[in-house]
Structure 1
Amino acid sequence: MMPERAGGHRLSVREVEVVAPNFKKRLSGVTSTIVQLVPRQAGSLRIATLGPGLPRELPALRWWQVPGLLLKPKSRPFRIWHARRNPEMLAGLVLRSVFRAPLRIVFTSASQREHTPWTRFLIRRMDRVIATSRKTARYLRVPNRVVMHGIDTVRFSPPESSAAGASAVGFPPEQHYVGCFGRIRHQKGTDLFVDAMIRLLPDRPNWSAIIAGQATQPHAAFEAELKEKLRAAGLAERVHFVGTRQDIPKWYRALSLFIAPQRWEGFGLTPLEAMATAVPVVATNVGAFGEILDGSKAGALVPVDDIEALISAAARYMDDDILRQAAASAALAHARSHFPLEGEARALNAIYEELWQEAAR
């Protein structure tokens, strides 16, 4: 029973010390977190993923290998099961409590809303609980540790020039581009971004916009309405819907400004991805956006659903090259110094080690 390990090595189930389950096939923030973190964590411990929708190069267990988790790992008194969603917490509890698997369960919460009674029931049975921000921690009714997400500053890094970034995705390099990336839906505020562009772009012929992300079937009509609004405003050729992109770092490099107009967010990685690419950010005060931007001089924070504040903040950066360049430099420095992915991986590994050390004592 040998999952493939990052770097081409083989890792038997008995050697696996940590399992990172991912039970949701569709790409999400949780999936992105696992994809980025596991290779970093694998540098200092034996970790494997379990579930669909993950790249083949990650170390992974297959479903038929799950019975192997009922045996104690070779080098530890138990395994860590690191859950990030309710079904993953439940699966860990069934393995531990019903099948007596040697497991301790860690749960990471990014939610910023009151938990349901079922979720609270599950959380109370975790061995460690992690919050991804101080705001998230306030919704937890159990002791917890704040570990904010980090960003891969190699994968997300600036282009040689803004012109080179635009050219790399096939867009005219003489234009500036403002972006809004993520799923296309009301919750994500894509309509606020479109409304802002309808107000901002007509007077700024050297700017265009890029919307990257998917509208799933329930939100297809919403996306169609946005495109029709842009067509009616004469901006269909200047606001580009580019869909879901596997090469998303290239698209950040094409930008001169990023807008995160969400109405609700758990954590929200897109502002960090932009900052690590030296792109200033205008974001609503949801998720961890306020904590990410705090003290950075990397952009502006605006109230939720306040279209006038959003337009005003975006206009400042679009119209002032010096301000925008200063914010770009500040964004890059802040992301690299405060949010390196390696820091998040070390913090999580330290929590696992803490559990193992408690057992040893």
Structure 2
Amino acid sequence: MTIRDVEVIAPNFKRRLSGVTSTIIQLLPLQARDIGIATMGPDVLPAAVPRLGYGGLLSLWQRPKRHRRRIWHARRNTEMLTGLVLRDLLRMKLRLVFTSAAQRRHTAYTRFLIRRMDAVIATSGRSAAYLDVPATVILHGIDLDRFGPDGALPSGPGADGLEGRRVIGCSGRIRHQKGTDLFVAAMIALLPSRPEWTAVITGRTTAEHAGFEAGLRAAIETAGLSERIRFLGEVEDVVPWFRRFDLYVAPPRNEGFGLTPLEAMASGTPVVASDAGAFAEMIVEGVTGRVVPVGDAEALAAAIAPYLDDDALRRRAGEAALAHVRTAFPLAREASQIAGVYRSVWALDDRG
């Protein structure tokens, strides 16, 4: 791909895997089927993601083949700032698009940057409500080729001893923000009277949150549930676990968007989640799962309990979840809607 073939640049200026990085990894190969798109940044993304080296910046004064300007699609402050420098100071032929997932009012600095974008996308209606500028709401989609009910199940040490057992899962970094303590509290309340169930927690614990995890482990040990509430750490591939979970719980206190409920539902697994991120916009209340108030361990446990006790309810919810995600949240839908935003931005030049 030459620089003139590149119509959109979606920079990724973060080395560590994050929700934003995951979105880029999933979307760009699909978008590249229809438009000339590439990422730019540290070389940490899979080879399937088209990318430009930093040297490509020197060519951005050139216009792309099919449009008067190319689009710089930022998802972080640093990427917005870089786009502004390239467009407004260096006078490169760019239009700027920003995707906002924040569930809070932005800082004055971020609002300053956002006001200078040519178009803004919000990943949920709640995110859009915190913006001071018009935005197009485009909820994330899910890769239905990767996440589905059919395929390999987890194996190895983490899966040992789970044969024939019901499994309730929770995935994400181990920290207060993610509500891991709420999940543990609910499990301590529910599991003693339900001996056929085991809880599995996947996700990394950074050094600064090691004490938080230690406190959870101590509470679990005191409750006599160390064999039935398991911390697996960061697993190599979480996809088989979503298939293995009989019920998935997403209890964060705050979240930008939050893909894990979609990943679970795409695997045919019902979900109980807190009212964080876009969870209330992706879960059909009482049909594909339940949504409970943020930070309420008792409400979380009360919503989980019926799914542990009623196999038919859990099966119906899982089937409904799978059908709902396949209809409303395919990744192709997200890519198509983003392409619509790009077309509206390019039309600004056509009118000029």
Normalising by structure 1, we get a TM-score of 0.93
After the TM superposition, which residues 23-172 of structure 1 pair with which residues of structure 2 at under 5 Å, given as runs? 23-52=13-42, 53-159=44-150, 165=153, 170-171=159-160, 172=162
SS of 1:211's partner is strand
1:5 paired residue number = none
- Which residues of structure 1 form unaligned runs of 5+? 1-10
CA shift at 1:199, angstroms?
1.3
- Which residues of structure 2 form unaligned runs of 5+? none
The CA RMSD over aligned residues, in Å, is 1.5
- Taking a change above 3 Å as real, the CA distance of residues 28 and 180 of structure 1, as seen in their structure-2 partners, is same
SS of 1:107's partner is strand
CA shift at 1:357, angstroms?
2.5
- Taking a change above 3 Å as real, the CA distance of residues 167 and 26 of structure 1, as seen in their structure-2 partners, is closer
1:278 paired residue number = 268
CA shift at 1:167, angstroms?
5.5
- Taking a change above 3 Å as real, the CA distance of residues 320 and 167 of structure 1, as seen in their structure-2 partners, is farther
- Taking a change above 3 Å as real, the CA distance of residues 27 and 167 of structure 1, as seen in their structure-2 partners, is closer
CA deviations on 1:153-192 (whole Å, 9 max, x unpaired) are 11110036xxx73558734320111111111110110011
2:225 paired residue number = 235
SS of 2:232's partner is strand
CA deviations on 1:197-233 (whole Å, 9 max, x unpaired) are 1111121111111111111222121112212222222
Asked if the contact 1:133–1:288 (Cα under 8 Å) also holds between the matched residues in 2, the reply is: yes
CA deviations on 1:249-271 (whole Å, 9 max, x unpaired) are 11111100000111111111111
SS of 1:180's partner is strand
Choose the corresponding residue for 1:289, options 256, 261, 279: 279
Structure-2 separation of matches of 1:96 and 1:300: 45
Choose the corresponding residue for 1:263, options 247, 253, 256: 253
How many residues end up aligned between the 2 structures? 348
Output the amino acid matched with 1:207: W
Output the amino acid matched with 1:222: F
Asked if the contact 2:29–2:48 (Cα under 8 Å) also holds between the matched residues in 1, the reply is: no
Structure-1 separation of matches of 2:52 and 2:212: 38
Asked if the contact 1:14–1:71 (Cα under 8 Å) also holds between the matched residues in 2, the reply is: yes
Output the amino acid matched with 2:72: W
Matched, 1:303 2:256: no
- Taking a change above 3 Å as real, the CA distance of residues 127 and 293 of structure 1, as seen in their structure-2 partners, is same
